[in-house]
Structure 1
């Protein structure tokens, strides 16, 4: 008996090819194979092998990378939903007729997840000694074999990549960084996440903060580089948005000041004739100090309120919105510029280079 042999009482037509080669004890039992029979088939010289506790490969020889991923997920899943009850058809999703097994409460994370996302600086799947899998904290499950279990109080919504559930990039990064002592490797991972358009710096910093990794000096150094990289990319997108969507040229990177009075703060762009200011909102939790984070947010709010009392319209744009919807953000700016004709003239301010 192997993965090409029909199992009674139900065939395996609803499973993809790899899912027919990797099955749990419960799935085999649902197909008429007892635990004793499974153990017999997995004895030395038999046609199968037990790869992880309760998870069988229905062939001998080394597993493929795809088989390892599915085996780890099956091991970490409380009750895989890939074997529906008799008479209940499998539920395909957007991935086509061979939709991935639905693995409740389990998803890949760490370096394996980043490799699946297409990161170029991560190891190949065959070279990974361990495959990290994220499960709820309440699960009583131990790491074993190539399966390394990571617990979390709240599972994020997974993404389906190459047919398997994968943690979002910021969470996968945090789980990878947690086990990487090398500053250069951490910096390369974080930089590729931003340059590759996988996520914004603020999302990465939030996840690292929640994982309590911002107390490690080599991680803090990498985060500083990451935020500088993200800021530069956001500024470049802002220049491109103004140019490609036909907005009038502003004065760039300036500081406003009341004549003979205090500084009103720096801005990324300012249209003096319309009294419209634009600021890139690149705030991110830093170094785990909540009081510092609140102070930064309060300063943003104070500056905005002060400028608006002077009759200056302030437009805040986040790097994510600038990346995902530049046309929409250009419309927001254009609307603010056009509305200036209907407002009272703004107070006179000095515009100085920042």
Structure 2
């Protein structure tokens, strides 16, 4: 015998113990709480409150930072949360069907994507130069460009045609540091704050300068003088760190000591260029490749002076190699993530020197 009696909703008492205590209207309906009852409970002086359109806080006091984060993600992922499905970064909330073991399992709904970005994301990544979460009036959330929502309350929507792969910080989906920096810088006019954020990104080991500059370029932020000044400081900081890593690599892996930061010249002839490390006996040079696509790259044509710099680097390398000098280009990222491998590359070049033709006589001068 078949019974068509609808399943009774779960009592509301269990919602008071939910963690986090933030639910969407769709999730409340899954618990058997209709719009009228939700509105009644969200009246002034009531036990609940509406934090954002379609998002309810299940207690009357101010939301915690965790609750605000979950609320903005619920709002930004409304297209998914209408189905009652879980939202990325938000623990699944039990629905009416889950209250009855005999009920059918909900069909999975693909994630549509939303993640915290900007200053809130930097704070979650551990930046000390970004404000604590409770002091942020608005939380930036990156969403697909086609999302039909608007910024409201504590949510500021940032739209993009291509979502980056999110990183999980305390269970919350956040943008990678370079994208978070670009979205934060886009809202900042204070030069000191911008410089501190960019410098901490490199000094704190969060990312390499080139990745930051790439995001700033794509966001078209390098036409702002205070951002350009901060980028110059960022690149200087990145070069200093890269030089320190190169020193450590030579020491840690027992490479012969080179001469550091020297200019190479032909006797009585032209200047050949400067290198960061040089082994005269083997004619092997290491040059740190700290160049970044300041105003060029795949997103647009570079500035004439940037193009000229890149051309000069290539010309210098070709000239030195014609004279018998082996030039090794090493990036800061490789020195950070694959130092042993880079040490092997240098050692191999030094060992191979005996099998090469003798190089031209080159004068080495301090730089």
TM interval, short-chain normalised: 0.7 to 0.9
Give the CA deviation at 1:312.
Answer: 1.6
Q: Which has the larger radius of gyration?
A: 2
Structure 1 CA distance for aligned equivalents of residues 155 and 249 of structure 2: 45
Which residue pairs with 2:118 in the alignment? 110
Which residue pairs with 1:79 in the alignment? 80
After the TM superposition, which segments of 4 or more aligned residues of structure 1 sit over 3 Å from their partners? 6-9, 16-19, 83-86, 88-91, 291-295
Structure 2 CA distance for aligned equivalents of residues 201 and 54 of structure 1: 40
Which residue pairs with 1:187 in the alignment? 195
Which residue pairs with 1:219 in the alignment? 227
Which residue pairs with 2:33 in the alignment? 33
Unpaired runs of 5+ residues, structure 1, are 1-5, 92-101
1:48 aligns with 2:48: yes
Contact 1:18 1:66 in 2 (8 A): no
Cα deviation, 1:162-188, whole Å, max 9, x if unaligned, reads 110111111111111111111111111
| 2:156 match: secondary structure | strand
Match for residue 294 of structure 1 among 307, 315, 322: 307
Structure 2 CA distance for aligned equivalents of residues 79 and 298 of structure 1: 50
Which residue pairs with 1:98 in the alignment? none
Structure 2 CA distance for aligned equivalents of residues 304 and 26 of structure 1: 62
Structure 2 CA distance for aligned equivalents of residues 36 and 317 of structure 1: 64
Structure 2 CA distance for aligned equivalents of residues 225 and 287 of structure 1: 16
Structure 1 CA distance for aligned equivalents of residues 215 and 182 of structure 2: 6
Aligned length: 335
> In 2 relative to 1, CA 333–89 (structure 1 residues): closer, same or farther, beyond 3 Å?
farther
Structure 2 CA distance for aligned equivalents of residues 324 and 17 of structure 1: 42
1:66 aligns with 2:66: yes
| TM-score, length basis structure 1 | 0.87
Which residue pairs with 1:320 in the alignment? 333
Contact 2:295 2:303 in 1 (8 A): no
Match for residue 253 of structure 1 among 239, 261, 269: 261
Which residue pairs with 2:344 in the alignment? 331
| 1:135 match: secondary structure | strand
Contact 1:215 1:287 in 2 (8 A): no
Which residue pairs with 1:147 in the alignment? 155
Structure 1 CA distance for aligned equivalents of residues 309 and 37 of structure 2: 64
Unpaired runs of 5+ residues, structure 2, are 1-7, 87-91, 98-103
1:280 aligns with 2:288: yes
